[in-house]
Amino acid sequence: MPYDTIIFDLDGTLLNTLDDLADSTNYALSQMGFPCRTIDEVRRFVGNGVKLLIDRAVPTGTSEDKKEKCLSIFKEYYSKNMENKTRPYDGIIEMLSNLKKLNINIAVVSNKFDRAVKGLCEKYFSGYVNIAVGESEKIRKKPAPDSVLEVIKILGSSKESTLYVGDSDVDVITAHNAKIKCIGVTWGFRDKDLLQSCGADYIIDKPCQINDILK
């Protein structure tokens, strides 16, 4: 069965959001009087939602109350500063445009909080993305397959005709849990060895290589 739907992760896959995430994390940490983190540390911390990002960024032994306050500061600051340095990776817009010409359904499923996911997709990918879903209380976040399966249902597609594309172990496990094929991308926040060890069905180094998989 040919593929008619591609679901993308957002951070590290379509958008390079790392600088804005690091800036917002360090703003929140500094407001709490905590030490700041390097960009490489933040790179390792992202992928499981902003709550875990902050849990990992704060000092060991930080109380839950202080974690919650730090998370609240982060969300408020990031909501106003998430477009400062964030940009699509090279070749992403061209790849999405080509998929549209092929009448492929395009969706985004992310562990970033839902308001940010929808806002970023509207700014950078308006006209390309059919549906964008982020973290909310309504549905379990990745690697649970719930949001991916819901998107497949909404788009009227099937598991067999859907590909999931992401840059991390969380994405590969999500695809496995949803029982769909996964493309791992090497330009994001994790490396090729990790994607291979997790069992990505395909691994690509450039967005245009998705075309080769669709053929």
Q: Could you tell me the residue ranges of all domains in the chain?
A: 5-16+86-214, 18-81
Tens-binned pLDDT, residue by residue, of the chain (215 aa): 589 999 999 999 999 999 999 999 999 999 999 999 999 999 999 988 899 999 999 999 999 999 999 999 999 999 999 999 999 999 999 999 999 999 999 999 999 989 999 999 999 999 999 999 998 888 899 999 999 999 999 999 999 999 999 999 999 999 999 999 999 999 999 989 999 999 999 999 999 999 999 87
- Separation CA 161–CA 74 (nearest Å): 38
pTM above 0.85, yes or no: yes
* CATH top class, domain 5-16+86-214: alpha beta
- Is-contact 187 18, C-beta < 8 A? no
Pick the closest to residue 120 from 5, 14, 7, 6 (CA basis): 14
User: What size, in residues, is the chain?
Assistant: 215
Residues in CB range of 138: below 8 A, 6 or more apart = none
β-bridge mates for residue 88, sequence order: 15
Report d(CA 64, CA 57) in Å as an integer: 13
Domain 18-81 class, CATH top level: mainly alpha
